[in-house]
Structure 1
Amino acid sequence: MRLTVVMPGSSDHLDLFRQECEQWVGDDTKLEVAAVGEAASVASRYEMAMAAPVLLAEVTRAADAGSDGVFIACAGDPAVHAAREVVDIPVMGGFQPALLTALSLGHRVGVISVLPSVVPIFHELIRHDGLSERCRSVRVINTPELSLHDQDTLVDHLFTQASEAVAAGEADSLVLGCTGFLGAAALLQDRLAAHGPYVPVVDPTGAALLALHTAVRLGLRSSRTTYAPPPVMTWHR
């Protein structure tokens, strides 16, 4: 199996993210990981819109090159629905697979992400899937300068928000709403269990890659009644 991971933004943490992705796939999977675009982050509608053209171009390139599936590595799912219209292979973003996994593990799902700017974006994604009744809690650590390498501090911030969400009855399972929270899901899950009842924490990268692997193994891709190819347009001067 051949899977492509497309990371929107700069390649500063590409090697680190490649290692993160490789732990989720088996020896039977060839993984290609690429960073596209120049944005330092993709944490707003504007940044997602600016990233979309290069993401779509890379998804198309991967499909044409023989990839079996593509993971757009951002929890905001930028360009995912558009990409499904233009290629005949499964395309996953970081959020939907994680959300659906969390819904199978607990009744109420909470999301924890980075900045206040992403809160309405996640609520829109949740409403799009008709899941607002079961996923109402979207919290953020609000730490834009947090280093990906400072894992202890990251987990401290996540634990504060997660424990408050669980204590308030907002969440029975949790989704990490950022693919940059590298390796944090298991650590957060263990810390929550050490201080209270077990609450599953879903890693968006792992959920997306495993969902992609499953779709490929089952011979599935997006429905053409939902994702019809764009009509061919002829332009006249």
Structure 2
Amino acid sequence: MKILIIFPLATSAYNPDVIEEAKTVAAPDTEISVINLDQGPQSIESRYEEFLAIPDLIKKSQAAEQDGFDGILIDCFGEPGVEIIRELIDIPVVGGFNPAVLTATLISQKFSIITVEKRVISMLETLARDVGITENIASIRDVGIPVSELPDKNRLIAALVEESQKAIARDGAQAIVLGCTGMLGVANDVKSILYELGMPAPVIDPTTTAITFLESLIRNKLSQSRLTYYKPAQQQEQQKTGLVKSWHFRPI
């Protein structure tokens, strides 16, 4: 099984940490590759920066399918371009948000998302409404740390523990979802500290959860439904002859 992780920033600074994180959960027969964008933002903390990432994400995703990859992870919690790319290619494509929050709904009734900065919260609220899990979210909090400063692990862990305590004690959270895929290698540390504080809440890492989620889709031979993600008209026109030959259309 070959999985491509596209870290949707125009920097390779995070790539080594991403691949190390992925290897902690990937099956032995899973081959992981990590790339970043040639053209795009340095961080994604706004809708505009998501927009800037999408053109190169599309290009690299289409190339990945042609190169024989079995699935793609767009490694961003905001899932830029995921819905668009699902229309364009046939291999499964996931982002960071859905696998993490859907996992949280399986192991808790209420969970909190802790993201980077306040400016991201409204974007995540939109995603939550789209998925239909608003009632499951106890709160969306932030650590006040921009993506560029997330590699400071001690500072990040301290901030995540502080906000997690508030989410559990004040908001009623029963699980914590890390709200940025750049929060690498800290989930277990945060969980351990919370347990020591008498707050035994699971802490969900969006990158590792998405990797195992994608592996499951591939092993079960599942991908995006063409009754949800229709191919664009241009692609349909190119394939029209083959489709007409293989399908028998009847009037409705």
Compute the TM-score of the two structures, normalised by the length of structure 1: 0.95
* Aligned match of 1:99: 101
**Structure with the higher fraction of residues in helix conformation:** 2
Backbone CA RMSD of aligned residues: 1.5
- Given the alignment of the two structures, is residue 139 of structure 1 paired with residue 111 of structure 2, yes or no? no
* Aligned match of 2:59: 57
Q: Aligned ranges for residues 14-53 of structure 1 at < 5 Å?
A: 14-36=15-37, 37-53=39-55
Compute the TM-score of the two structures, normalised by the length of structure 2: 0.89
Contact 2:147–2:182 (CA under 8 A) maintained in structure 1:
no
Contact 1:146–1:154 (CA under 8 A) maintained in structure 2:
no
* Residue range with higher mean Cα deviation, 28-37 or 148-157: 148-157
State the 1:52 CA deviation.
0.5
The amino acid across from 1:56 in the alignment is I
Contact 1:70–1:92 (CA under 8 A) maintained in structure 2:
yes
Extract structure 1 runs of 4+ deviating beyond 3 A. Answer: 145-149
* Aligned match of 2:115: 113
Unaligned runs of 5+ in 1: none
Report the structure number with the largest CA radius of gyration.
2
* Partner Cα distance (1:119, 1:80) in 2: 19
The amino acid across from 1:222 in the alignment is Q
The amino acid across from 1:185 in the alignment is A
* Partner Cα distance (1:145, 1:73) in 2: 13
* Partner Cα distance (1:51, 1:13) in 2: 16
The amino acid across from 1:128 in the alignment is D
Query: Aligned pairs, how many?
Result: 234
- Given the alignment of the two structures, is residue 207 of structure 1 paired with residue 196 of structure 2, yes or no? no
Unaligned runs of 5+ in 2: 238-252
* Aligned match of 1:5: 5
State the 1:136 CA deviation.
4.3
| CA pair 145-121 structure 1, distance change in 2 beyond 3 A | closer
Give aligned-pair identity as a percent: 34
| CA pair 146-82 structure 1, distance change in 2 beyond 3 A | closer
* Residue range with higher mean Cα deviation, 17-26 or 78-87: 17-26
The amino acid across from 1:160 in the alignment is E
* Partner Cα distance (1:146, 1:33) in 2: 19
State the 1:223 CA deviation.
1.1
SS of residue paired to 2:195: helix
